[in-house]
Structure 1
Amino acid sequence: MKQQSGPRVILHVDMNSFYASVEMAFEPELRGKPLAIAGNVEERKGIVVTCSYEARARGVKTTMPLWQAKRHCPELIVRKPNFDRYRKASRAMFDLLREFTDLVEPVSIDEGYMDLTEYLKEGNPLQVAKTIQQRLLEELLLPSSIGIAPNKFLAKMASNMKKPLGITVLRKRELHETLWPLPASEMHGVGEKTAEKLLTIGVKTIKDLAEADPISLKQLLGINGERLKKRANGIDSREVNPDSINDFKSIGNSTTLSKDSSDVRVLYDTLNRLSQSVSMRMKRKEVLGTKIFITIRYSDRSTFTRSRTVNNPLGEKEELYTHAKEIFDRHWTGEPVRLLGVTCQDLVPKGDAYKQLDLFSFQEDAKKEPLFKTIEDIQKKFGESVIKRGMKAVRLEDDKTSGTSFNKDFLRE
């Protein structure tokens, strides 16, 4: 559907502590209590996926090891994830939003954009947002925060300003008061590493980014530097696209071997080089992938494609190669190979990608528990800044198994 040019009214609806809120909706006795959703509850292992605001007030945080969360909040109530329940709640939430406009773009299981420009020709955006928030709370028992702005970026920033149950209007003329004083690291699309890079050219706040030299930004961050400068100035022309949930973009590369080969060293080396090529292209486009394919063509020209979905978006060469190699090892017949290919699909913008904690990755994260304890002891002795922890865990499942990724697949049924 074609959206009008000119001033727009965009809402970003962000559900508050979604998993925990859904559990409270099904078990009202949990309301007002410190609640965490985590895995391996019986063994006190695993990672906190999300927690109620009552738990946050006691020091519990998302991605915190469960044993540490219990230390902060001994009375913490822990529930295992119920993904079927969360999917149903998500569908109900988006169905409600579509009652107001068909221009609804889901971006994850618990957040999405709405374009109310046409709907509100004579209406009041703030009143409509209050109605949406009230209906979500009364009909689904789910709290939300809503940002109202003339574009998607500002709406996203606005929804983060008041939680829980906040409604924030962010206008371009108010940027110098509300947005620019914030640290650049708090800007949507600026991750920790990007914020560190920006510091090297003196960019500390969003105002600094808005006024930064475009040449310096491009040298530092490539095309993403120009994009971030525009966003910091409140410029974002992206449309609300209901069909983006069905986008199947991909980046891949293939090569025909100089001669048919069954030498595993040659084949692994080829997969490694292809993974490097794909990774470089993904980095240039600032995207990560959630599905990886390999293509095998044998000497008789028969061609097979096999894939695997990952719950945590990836893009590094080492990650791609590891996954490609495992798929190859599982499906290669041992016959001479003529062509190999590596492709990443279901791409997501790097700034929007986040770790998808699920039933599977809990076990992998739990293995790091001794490391977390060591880090905590060191930080207590020398200060929190002495070690910066960066977690990266990926769980693979072949396509024949059901996955639990909620990036954009939760409505594809």
Structure 2
Amino acid sequence: MNSLYPKNGRVILHVDMNSFYASVEMAFDPSLKGKPLAIAGNPKERKGIIVTCSYEARSFGVKTTMPLWEARKLCPDLIIKTPNFDRYRAASRGMFDILRQYSELVEPVSIDEGYIDITDSYEKGSPLEIASSIQHQIKSQLDLPCSIGIAPNKFLAKTASDMKKPMGITVLRKRDIPGKLWPLPVIEMHGVGSKTAEKLETIGVVTCKDLATANEIQLKSVLGINGLRLKERANGIDRRVVDPDSIYDYKSVGNSTTLPRDTANQSELLSTIEKLCAKVSQRLHQKDVVGTTVQIMIRDKYRKTITRSRKTENPVSTKEDLFQHARQLFLKHWNGDPVRLLGVTAQDLMEKNEATEQLDLFSYESAAKEEPLYNVLSQLQEKFGKDAISKGVRGKDKKPSYDTKQDTSFNKDFLRD
């Protein structure tokens, strides 16, 4: 069996759950199977946007991010269910538990997809046999469908898993790139969005082959260093390893909310921002991290969105500190038009125990009072280990668990309490 694995390279699978939220609801309530089903927000709060939908609904033209009213117009019999994130996280945990039966090198990417490096798992079968076994096990134990890509690196594995849905297994080798990847429009390539595709079109890059052979100076001029990275991807080059510990990496923590109605009431808007800061602060505390940049997002009644940020002099994590910066940013950049959506994000995160406060005239006195306490903590940590005791800081729980209060499909909070 070892002969079916490369001598020098890696074998990586990308497991992508098919129509995950809708599939979980069908597994929970089998009477929904075979029917057009959509998961959407609460229309009363103007969050009636399709989060995901079943393949039966897609046959009517229903798509993710489509307004609910439009989806119902296309499919009058569409069944609507609001998200049940506790249920989805439980299913996600079950899926990742199954993946870890085949390899220790499992990297969750989001609640419904992840990478698994099976290079050293040859005793469990060939790559195709392992992929088939994973797919069968997830379906039989969780009643959930998934597609799996098999490739020598993460980019190609991700690309392969998208090629056949639902319940597909696709192998994509580097030698397959000219025939399978290059003919595709560049916007279909993983990592290329509509804005990036528009910029690439200005230099004549329309297909993935155009990108693979593009002039690097031109690429860098329109996309910066990311342009060169995308060219490497188009040529099947991806040096990233499958890293199980990446679930503990956080670049930002943010919350946003769509207001019940467009409003220009400053007091109401600031109150909303303060509530968002409280949520962000809670999540920062859960992760034992602090932010060094605060960003706000303002979307007006015309759906025009602006984001503004400021670097903080000292790391911030409390609601009060976050609100101080967010309030100043909002008052400076809000033009007075009615607002539809607000967001607050803490960026450039670092662990609390790595944060060094930049003392100034105002913080020096309070910090100096705690100097004896820090000395005692230092002595205890030196004797018993740095994780033995800390001041108001919970240590990282290296066992993945689940946050029951946040919709975290687009980041890795779903793996933490």
TM bucket, shorter chain: 0.5 to 0.7
Change (3 A) 1:65 1:317: closer
- Residues 3-402 of structure 1 aligned to structure 2 (within 5 Å): 6-40=8-42, 46-120=48-122, 123-249=125-251, 318-320=307-309, 328=321, 330=323, 344-345=347-348, 402=405
Change (3 A) 1:210 1:330: closer
Q: For residue 395 of structure 1, what is the aligned residue in structure 2?
A: none
- Find the aligned partners of 1:154 and 1:226 in 2 and give their Cα distance: 17
The answer to whether the 8 Å contact 2:291/2:347 transfers is no
Change (3 A) 1:344 1:74: same
- Find the aligned partners of 2:291 and 2:155 in 1 and give their Cα distance: 38
The answer to whether the 8 Å contact 1:149/1:171 transfers is yes
The answer to whether the 8 Å contact 2:109/2:412 transfers is yes
Q: Does 1:403 align with 2:371?
A: no
Q: The residue matched to 1:134 in structure 2 has which SS?
A: helix
| Cα-to-partner distance string for 1:241-283 (whole Å, 9 max, x where unaligned) | 00000014479xxxxxxxxxxxxxxxxxxxxxxxxxxxxxxxx
The answer to whether the 8 Å contact 2:297/2:308 transfers is no
Q: The residue matched to 1:405 in structure 2 has which SS?
A: coil
Q: The residue matched to 1:318 in structure 2 has which SS?
A: strand
| Structure 1 residue ranges without an equivalent (≥5) | 252-289, 294-303, 333-341, 348-400
- Find the aligned partners of 1:131 and 1:51 in 2 and give their Cα distance: 26
The answer to whether the 8 Å contact 1:247/1:346 transfers is no
Change (3 A) 1:329 1:161: closer
The answer to whether the 8 Å contact 1:311/1:404 transfers is no
Q: For residue 337 of structure 1, what is the aligned residue in structure 2?
A: none
The one-letter code of the counterpart of 1:178 is K
Q: The residue matched to 2:148 in structure 1 has which SS?
A: strand
- Find the aligned partners of 1:311 and 1:133 in 2 and give their Cα distance: 40
| Cα-to-partner distance string for 1:120-164 (whole Å, 9 max, x where unaligned) | 268311111011001111100000000000000000000000011
- Find the aligned partners of 1:41 and 1:219 in 2 and give their Cα distance: 43
- Find the aligned partners of 1:138 and 1:247 in 2 and give their Cα distance: 32
The one-letter code of the counterpart of 1:408 is K
- Find the aligned partners of 1:103 and 1:125 in 2 and give their Cα distance: 15
Change (3 A) 1:309 1:89: farther
The one-letter code of the counterpart of 2:175 is R
- Find the aligned partners of 1:311 and 1:318 in 2 and give their Cα distance: 4
The one-letter code of the counterpart of 1:114 is I
- Find the aligned partners of 2:184 and 2:127 in 1 and give their Cα distance: 25
The answer to whether the 8 Å contact 1:41/1:80 transfers is no
| Cα-to-partner distance string for 1:28-78 (whole Å, 9 max, x where unaligned) | 000010000012257896111000000000111111111111000000011
The answer to whether the 8 Å contact 1:146/1:158 transfers is yes
Change (3 A) 1:191 1:230: same
Change (3 A) 1:5 1:319: farther
Q: The residue matched to 2:307 in structure 1 has which SS?
A: helix
The answer to whether the 8 Å contact 1:143/1:164 transfers is yes
| Structure 2 residue ranges without an equivalent (≥5) | 1-5, 254-278, 283-289, 299-304, 326-344, 351-403
- Find the aligned partners of 2:163 and 2:291 in 1 and give their Cα distance: 45
| Cα-to-partner distance string for 1:273-307 (whole Å, 9 max, x where unaligned) | xxxxxxxxxxxxxxxxx9689xxxxxxxxxx9899
Q: For residue 255 of structure 1, what is the aligned residue in structure 2?
A: none
The answer to whether the 8 Å contact 2:23/2:54 transfers is yes
Change (3 A) 1:318 1:114: same
Aligned length: 297
Change (3 A) 1:311 1:44: closer
The one-letter code of the counterpart of 1:411 is L
- Find the aligned partners of 1:240 and 1:121 in 2 and give their Cα distance: 20
| Cα-to-partner distance string for 1:223-245 (whole Å, 9 max, x where unaligned) | 10110111100000100000000
* TM-score, normalisation: structure 2: 0.64
The answer to whether the 8 Å contact 1:292/1:344 transfers is no
The answer to whether the 8 Å contact 1:291/1:307 transfers is no
- Find the aligned partners of 1:176 and 1:80 in 2 and give their Cα distance: 42
| Cα-to-partner distance string for 1:175-200 (whole Å, 9 max, x where unaligned) | 11000000000011111111011111
Q: The residue matched to 2:178 in structure 1 has which SS?
A: helix
> Alpha-carbon deviation of 1:405?
2.4
Q: The residue matched to 1:100 in structure 2 has which SS?
A: coil
* TM-score, normalisation: structure 1: 0.65
The one-letter code of the counterpart of 2:216 is P
Higher relative contact order (CA 8 A, sep 6+): 1
> Alpha-carbon deviation of 1:330?
4.2
The answer to whether the 8 Å contact 1:292/1:308 transfers is no
